[in-house]
Amino acid sequence: MDELKMYCRKILFVALFFILSISNIYAQKYKSVSSEVRFYSYAPIEDIEATNSGGKSAIDISTGEIVFSIPIQSFIFDKSLMQEHFNENYMESDKYPHATFKGSLTSYNPDIIDWQEAEAKGAINIHGIEKETEYNGEVKINGETINVKAKFKVKLEDYKIKIPKVVFYNIAEVIDVTIEFKYERIK
């Protein structure tokens, strides 16, 4: 347990160091000023949706390097009991407080000032399980601001998130995730 806490702290430290160590000299570096992460679970008995506006991210548009940190306990549900079960039974958010991604954006042109397709490649860590992955999304670069959005699927069993048989028809095995982040240039 202590090793896991140390691992989570190291990830957060790296992400925060990246965000805080950026100076004026690197005019291509941006930090998030707003975020929304949504997930949706389509299931035969009940659909479940939650939103989270507590995510943090930083991007270096000249290299494409990007990091995200999403606090698990910041997901808000319509029903408080769902939120409690999500944190305690499924995500074990006391043990795994953040989902993170560290990687790079590729397949975009930093000189285009409009929405364009991009691909994110890197390591995502959810529920203490790290996996190399690729996600497609869109980026809009506009001088002082950048917007990033993506929609992708997360298979719960890939991250050892267990669904008890008693609620198997209430929770989908694959969750739809949507992210939208707005960034401003670091000055």
Give the length of the chain: 187
Residue 168 has a pLDDT of: 60
| Separation between Cα atoms, residue 150 and residue 82, nearest integer Å | 25
Residue 45 has a pLDDT of: 80
Residue 82 has a pLDDT of: 87
Considering the entire predicted model, what is its pTM? 0.82
pLDDT at 13 over 90: no
Q: Give residue 7's pLDDT band: very low, low, confident or very high (50, 70, 90).
A: low
Residue 25 has a pLDDT of: 46
Structural domain boundaries, residue 59: 2-185
Number of H helices, E strands in the chain: 2, 10
- 73: β partners: none
pLDDT at 18 over 70: no
Across the range 20-31, mean pLDDT stands at 62
The string of pLDDT tens digits covering residues 77-133 is: 999 988 998 999 899 999 999 999 999 999 999 888 899 999 999 999 999 999 999
Residue 77 has a pLDDT of: 94
CA distances from 26 to 29, 43, 107 (A): 6, 46, 22
The string of pLDDT tens digits covering residues 130-165 is: 999 999 999 999 878 999 999 999 999 999 998 776
Please give the tally of structural domains in the chain.
1
The dihedral over CA atoms of 83, 87, 91, 95, expressed in degrees to the nearest 10, equals: 170
The string of pLDDT tens digits covering residues 165-185 is: 666 667 888 999 999 999 999
- 175: β partners: 154
The CATH number assigned to the domain holding 135 equals 2.40.128.110
The string of pLDDT tens digits covering residues 35-72 is: 999 999 988 888 889 999 999 999 998 899 999 999 99
